[in-house]
């Protein structure tokens, strides 16, 4: 078997930097591909917030100067080997020596720099990939740069590009002056079939237009984004490229997320011995100041607090939810209005709802393990990983049937016993409430609930199948 060589470029990779599912994927997909015998190396910015324990192990392997438009910038190259995967980090104090990862005034420049840097360092690190696999808008202009400047060189000529959409909503749209001032690319790329987007530049669109293949993270989302509703004004571009568009479901790292050995949770358990799950519930309640009652359902929700995740539905019926004999745990950070909303309910229903407005990896794991149900009423959901983590920990998802949620969660049918969760289809608060009530109803049928927990914990969400689908895509490209 010939090894496929891939440079996997991402703006976040767990455990170095994470805001959402992209970081999980950028950690676990390359690991799975390496496990299948391929040479997949990961590259990301060296942010200030990467935990010291990893920074200490990084080795500096070079430095170069690169141009971002007319400005020459320092680019340090650091390397770290971990779990049989090679990681490279692009170092520049000015761009990445800041708190957090995103949201700065010069995002266009920071990520243009990252894209340029990852191309420029390849000869320096002596790695000529068959494929550069880019992810989301932060790496969108890699394929544009490659086409604009590098194709005449022997080293770069045959490199193919794959672009994966993890979320079409975030596009990296900037004033058109960015084209010359930041990207340094000529105006010949500024047109409807290029990087132009309503008289602005759109980094994600560049990725869609100039990459050889586009993938997204579930089959349903791959179809949805071709429509007006989900297409975020890029559905025409996606329809034009539909022959090159693939939906490949994300997996999760089943070993790192295994309740039988996970040392982040309060007690270990497995589908054959579920006792420890109750301990997790009790300890979670205790640590969060909830009433210690193991007899009632505990609903968990871990999410970025943004429109997409369905918080409007929750707001509509939260009183009705919290008037039931249940408890609710929220972990999330994001938009102010949603933080305020949850604070309001926290004050109104003390001891019943625990609101944790922060990013906290340890607590998230404890919620997956300690909750009975997990709520995900998303307006849209490209793939969604939380529902898979939940099932892995025996926590039953209540989800809206969209995108990857639809591809992973089937409604429980009490007659055939098929299904692994509770679902609703319309984006409607009372439909969601009905699904929650249904879940609560079955929670008290202990035999049914235990059946659902065991079944969820047995589902194989590993990367094995999906990694092979990515390999098929890579191979198709390399063969061409």
- Interacting residues toward ligand ADP by CB under 6 A: 20-21, 24, 302-304, 331-333, 359-361, 364, 383-386
Cβ proximity to ligand ADP, 161 vs 364, nearer residue: 364
Joined tokens for residue 134:
């880019």
The C-alpha torsion from 443 through 448 and 452 to 453, rounded to 10°, is 70
Q: Please report how close the Cβ of residue 331 comes to ligand ADP at its closest, in angstroms.
A: 5
CA distance 390 to 392: 5
Q: Please report how close the Cβ of residue 174 comes to ligand ADP at its closest, in angstroms.
A: 22
Taking the CB of residue 394, how many other CB atoms lie within 10 A of it?
A: 26
Cβ proximity to ligand ADP, 54 vs 359, nearer residue: 359
CA distance 388 to 461: 7
Tell me which residue of 114, 111, 57 sits closest to 87, measured CA to CA: 57
Number of residue whose CB is nearest ligand ADP: 21
Cβ proximity to ligand ADP, 58 vs 369, nearer residue: 369
CA distance 129 to 76: 20
| Backbone Cα Rg of the chain | 23
User: Given 3-state DSSP classes, what are the helix, strand and coil percentages for the chain, each rounded to the nearest 5?
Assistant: 40, 20, 35
CA distance 376 to 371: 14
CA distance 333 to 359: 6
Cβ proximity to ligand ADP, 74 vs 359, nearer residue: 359
Q: Please report how close the Cβ of residue 136 comes to ligand ADP at its closest, in angstroms.
A: 10
Q: Please report how close the Cβ of residue 236 comes to ligand ADP at its closest, in angstroms.
A: 24
Spatial neighbors of 101 by CB under 8 A, at least 6 apart, are 11, 12, 17, 19, 47, 49
CA distance 161 to 34: 19
Q: Please report how close the Cβ of residue 386 comes to ligand ADP at its closest, in angstroms.
A: 4
Q: Order across the sheet with 245-247: list the strands.
A: 59-68, 71-82, 85-91, 39-45, 5-9, 131-135, 160-165, 213-216, 245-247
Cβ proximity to ligand ADP, 304 vs 437, nearer residue: 304
Q: What is the DSSP string of 322-348?
A: HHSS-EEEEEEEE-HHHHHHHHHHHHH
Q: Please report how close the Cβ of residue 125 comes to ligand ADP at its closest, in angstroms.
A: 29
CA distance 315 to 318: 5
Q: Please report how close the Cβ of residue 336 comes to ligand ADP at its closest, in angstroms.
A: 15
Cβ proximity to ligand ADP, 360 vs 438, nearer residue: 360
Q: Please report how close the Cβ of residue 383 comes to ligand ADP at its closest, in angstroms.
A: 6
Cβ proximity to ligand ADP, 58 vs 314, nearer residue: 314
Sign of CA dihedral 53, 121, 140, 28: negative
Cβ proximity to ligand ADP, 161 vs 408, nearer residue: 408
Q: Is 18 annotated as a binding residue?
A: yes
Binding residues for ADP-alpha-D-glucose: 18
Binding residues: 18
């Amino acid at each position: 078997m010939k090894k496929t060589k891939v440079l996997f470029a991402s703006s976040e990779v767990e455990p170095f930097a994470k805001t959402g599912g992209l970081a999980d994927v950028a950690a676990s997909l390359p690991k799975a591909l390496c496990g299948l015998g391929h040479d997949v190396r990961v590259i990301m910015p060296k942010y200030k917030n990467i935990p010291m324990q990893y920074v200490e192990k990084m080795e500096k392997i070079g430095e170069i100067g690169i141009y971002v438009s007319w400005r020459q910038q320092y680019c340090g190259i650091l390397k770290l080997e971990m779990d049989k995967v090679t990681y490279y980090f692009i170092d520049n104090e000015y761009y990445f020596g800041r708190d957090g990862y995103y949201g700065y005034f010069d995002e266009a420049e920071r990520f243009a720099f990252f894209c340029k840097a990852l191309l420029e360092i390849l000869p320096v690190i002596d790695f000529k990939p068959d494929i550069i696999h880019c992810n989301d808008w932060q790496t969108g202009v890699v394929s544009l740069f490659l086409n604009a400047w590098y194709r005449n060189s022997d080293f770069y000529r045959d490199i193919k590009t794959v672009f994966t959409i993890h979320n079409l909503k975030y596009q990296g749209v900037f004033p058109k002056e960015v084209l010359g001032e930041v990207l340094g690319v000529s105006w010949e790329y500024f047109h409807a079939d290029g990087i132009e987007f309503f008289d602005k530049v759109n980094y994600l669109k560049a990725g869609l237009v100039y990459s050889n293949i586009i993938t997204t993270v579930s089959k349903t989302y791959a179809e949805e984004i071709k429509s007006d509703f989900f297409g975020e004004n890029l559905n025409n571009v996606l329809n034009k490229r539909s022959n090159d568009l693939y939906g490949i479901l994300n997996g999760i790292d089943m070993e790192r997320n295994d309740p039988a050995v996970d040392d982040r949770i309060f007690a270990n358990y497995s589908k054959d011995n579920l006792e420890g799950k109750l301990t997790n519930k009790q300890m979670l309640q205790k640590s969060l100041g909830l009433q210690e009652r193991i007899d009632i359902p505990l609903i968990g929700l871990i999410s970025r607090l943004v429109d997409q995740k369905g918080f409007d539905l929750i707001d509509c019926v939260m009183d009705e939810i919290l008037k039931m004999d249940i408890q609710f745990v929220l972990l999330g950070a994001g938009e102010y209005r949603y933080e305020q909303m949850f604070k309001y309910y926290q004050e109104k229903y003390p001891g019943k709802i625990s609101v944790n407005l922060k990013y906290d990896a340890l607590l998230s794991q404890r919620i997956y393990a300690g909750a009975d149900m997990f709520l995900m009423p998303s307006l849209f959901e490209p793939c969604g990983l939380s529902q898979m983590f939940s099932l892995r920990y025996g926590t039953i998802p209540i989800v809206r049937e969209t995108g990857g949620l639809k591809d992973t969660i089937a409604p429980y049918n009490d007659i055939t016993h098929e299904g692994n969760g509770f679902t609703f289809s319309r984006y409607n608060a009372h439909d969601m409430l009905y699904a929650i009530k249904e879940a609560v109803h079955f929670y008290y049928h202990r035999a049914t609930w235990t059946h659902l927990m065991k079944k969820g914990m047995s589902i194989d969400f590993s990367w094995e199948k999906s990694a092979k689908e990515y390999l098929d895509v890579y191979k198709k490209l390399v063969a061409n």
